[in-house]
A and B are shown apart, each in its own frame.
Chain A
Amino acid sequence: MTGLSIENLSMRFELPNGDHVQALQDVSLELKAGELLSVLGPSGCGKTTLLNIVAGFLAPTSGKLVLNGHEIKGPDAERGMVFQQGALFEWMSVRENVGFGPSMKGTPKRDKDETVDHLLDVVGLQDFKEKAVYELSGGMQQRVALARCLANDPDVILMDEPLGALDALTREKMQSLVLKLWKETGKTIILITHSVEEALLLGERLIVMAPRPGRIHKEYRLPFADLGVDADLREVKKHPEFGPRREEILNMIWDMEEEIMGGKEDAA
């Protein structure tokens, strides 16, 4: 049985002042191998907590995570992470960063170099191989981060707002790249984002999470990711279904934010 299954996941922790936070409550999700899931939600809805649990950095208070038939207990090379930024190793060159995973495993140098060369070709950074990562622009750094993650050939790729810090133009290019990589490699991807458009464009499936307690509010199946693999993303945005979907989700998140604000005012 392949794929990722999340069963009744709950996360509750105590604060020093005696209160407790229900970061996640009864989150269940089935993800088939090769699916691309995007996760949206207002801040505080537990989406990063969810990702950290899947990555194995946090242990849930209850519930079960099963990937390809075995339970997730901690971080592992089968689940790669792409962070927003600043997670590259600035003391290593681009080549060394991309080759980090294979090096840790002790992959023979020839195989490793081959993988690195191939991936740098894919992300278009072959000419920047020997550069220090801090010499690259923000977009290029995220390409390195993608390549580094892929070099390990993980089953699942977890992305925590990987394009959040990029400017609008670079972001569009990177969105196409993510789609291309997804199609070419067939990886299962969970993508957390703040941008409704990005979630719609990239997510084959999309879940909107709600806060207090963190839970899945609504789930969608979307056609745009498949369309975007071959077409210009700006064309995809003209799809008749795209606008209404965006409005619907924006309103949904807007209402949640309002509720949080209102609740705060009542409390005060």
Chain B
Amino acid sequence: MTIQFKDESFRGDFSYANSPSNIPRFPFPFPEDEYMYSTNIEPHHAARAGSPFENAFDVDEHYVAEMKDRALVLAEDPGRCQALPHMETAGWDFVELVMVSKARDYPDLFKLTIDGDRWHWINKPLQIDDTFTFGDSSTLPCHPMEYIGRQVQGDHAILDQRDGNLWLDAGIITAQADWSLDFDVGMNFFEWHAPVPLAHELGVFQRALKFLLTLPQGQPSRRLNWTLTVNPRLDTSPENYPKWGPDRMTVTPENIGEKVHLRVELQTFWRLPRSNAILFPIRTYLMAMNEVVTQPKWARRIHRVMRDLRPELVEYKGLSRYHPILVEWLSQFDDGAPTSPGIFPD
């Protein structure tokens, strides 16, 4: 398999777009015609060749451009990457998991040679060729979490487990849907989810925590989460809200198909072997509404989901300003025909 990596931007001229062949593999987040929170966790098994669920850490045509955007964010705001002092071992667990998985799943792109604790890592797309001593952070240019976090798509949080809870004690977070690592680092599972409406009352977080506390090694899980973003901007952090907030004022019926993007997070959960922490990758996929509606099933379904979305969620997800015109625009693609179950296009 050869991937043509795109030269594109997630800011400024927003040249990001999906190739026609990349559209059907988008992780469309709605298995039904209506949406409400649920603890929608399933095993992270290899599923469907070519889908983003085929490999442990999906690499797609946006890999190189996303890593460039991450480097820009970290240069502007080093606080997007933080680890409390007890999280170094977990950082090495993260290095191992990503290197072993990528070298196995994409042998033409990544190569790992292990000789005792001497590791040799080659990342061809990013032109990295490094040798280091596993477990010795002085042999890397930075904290192990940052080192590997700069080479894997998606934000990564690492959750320490103690006192029957999970603690957000480390993370490299540059493509977040409006939450601040700098503010939330050190919080427990309920605290960092505190601002989410409705879900606490539904018991979603209690169930999710119970599940995650007993997550076994070697049996990762996944779920999808979603929001909408105006322009294909990865960095929608609260820190930079004054930069991206005004974008929401720019949506019109004429430009809505290219401006409004479905933003999907493929969240996976991995028990780490040495630290007993949980690695929590939050991989973001962006697709313009014009691209979504090229798949007739998705076009019908997203209209129905948006039309019937609970007002609290419209508000929480920040859609209020353009939600009515989006529903109106999407209605032209919905002929009322039934849709097949599941997320994959017909």
Q: Do A and B bind each other?
A: no
Residues on B facing A (Cβ under 8 Å): none
Residues on A facing B (Cβ under 8 Å): none
